[in-house]
Amino acid sequence: MNKSETRDKAILKTVKFEVLRYNPAGNESPHLENYSVPVTKGMTVLDGLNWIKEHLDSTLSWRSSCRMGICGSCGMFINGLPRLACNNQIVHLHSDRVVIKPLPNYDIIRDLVPDLEGLFEKHRSVKPHLIRKDTAEQDSPTGEFFQSEQELLNYIQFAYCIKCGLCMAACPTVATSEEYIGPQPLTAGWRYLSDTRDEGAEQRQDVLYSSHGVYRCHFAGACSQVCPKGVDPALAIQMAKRDAFMKGFGRGKKRSGSSVIPPIQDWTPRGDIPDAPAKTVPQKSE
């Protein structure tokens, strides 16, 4: 072990983790349980939970996978805000107390595991996929659907969503309404509604602009504040509202399925591109 490694392993401080425990099979009511966790450099909240599971209490349950802010599994209510456990270092919380509860506005399955099924159901309801009238072309494409760079920039931010559900936990309307579609699904809906390649507006807007759709958003802004990927659901919802409002004046943007561009036929490769190296693994057909 060299010098820098020992320094990284040094314990910076000991932090009190207060974790909500709930066991549906047990007799205990939900309660906060305390654990002392030694914090080393770069240690995330998720690392802290893993440390507890390893050293103190193997029954502690939560959901996590990639531990690098990609999969969106480890959403938790950490020190008063919905956050990803893997995305937040303990020292950056600037507190000797780390209070961890499951995400609000979802049913709790056990300990820190929320039931996200409702979110996924609503996500499905906005049909989050490209809808084209010519399904034959979509299934066996003869070319690509045209889209300019600016048209892509109009929605690409909303396509970065990882479905962690933090926005739904932060939203005040979701806090009281079971029917409200919610920031994540509405953003997904707008992402496809504003996609110039899409032709499914009629199917989608009945959900988006229903009495439990975009108009139940009042720009409290909490969803955008907590989003770990900078997706900005509040912006998407306001853009959806603006679009409908402008349609009221007959000035909504018309977006219909963009044309199919066939692949370029007559092209010659640049001469200075080297050949691919020989294959090292035999191919099936060979």
| Site for other proteins, rule CB under 8 A | 22, 24-25, 30, 79-81, 102-109, 114-115, 153-158, 160, 170-180, 205-206, 209-213, 215-216, 218-222, 224-227, 229-232, 234-236, 238-239, 241-242, 244-245, 247-248
Nearer to other proteins by Cβ, of 21 and 132: the residue is: 21
Q: Are strands 97-101 and 11-21 parallel, antiparallel or unpaired?
A: parallel
Helix 201-208 × helix 183-193 angle, to 10°: 150
Residue 85: how many CA atoms within 13 Å on its side-chain side?
27
Q: Which helix (H) or strand (E) holds 152?
A: helix 149-153
Q: How far is the CB of 36 from other proteins (least distance, A)?
A: 24
Shortest gap between Cβ of 102 and other proteins (angstroms)? 6
Q: Can you read off the two tokens belonging to residue 148?
A: 């300019």
Closest to other proteins by CB, 56 vs 152, is 152
Nearest residue to 194 via CA among 157, 234, 151: 151
- The overall longest dimension of the chain from CA atoms, in Å, is 74
Least distance CB 153 / other proteins (angstroms): 6
Return the residue matching tokens 């906005």. Answer: 126
- Give the whole-angstrom CA distance, residue 193 versus residue 236: 11
- By beta-carbon proximity to other proteins, the closer residue of 50 and 212 is 212
For residues 35 and 52, the answer to whether their CB atoms sit within 8 Å is: yes
Q: How far apart are CA 219 and CA 51, in angstroms?
A: 39
Q: Where are the beta strands (DSSP E) in 108-259?
A: 108-110, 113-114, 144-145
- As given in the structure block, the two tokens for residue 214 are 């975009």
- Cα–Cα distance measured from residue 219 to residue 233, given in angstroms and rounded to the nearest whole number: 10
Q: How near is the Cβ of 96 to other proteins at its closest, in Å? A: 17
Choice between 55 and 160, CB closer to other proteins: 160
Q: At its nearest, how many Å lie between other proteins and the CB of residue 281?
A: 36
Nearer to other proteins, 12 or 246 (CB): 246
Nearest distance, CB of residue 169 and other proteins, angstroms: 9
Distance CA 166, CA 227 (A): 7
Give 38 or 104: the residue with its C-beta nearer to other proteins.
104
CB of 133 to other proteins, least distance (A): 21
Task: Give the phi and the psi of residue 84 in degrees, each rounded to 5.
Answer: -85, 130
> What's the min distance (Å) between Cβ of 40 and other proteins?
24
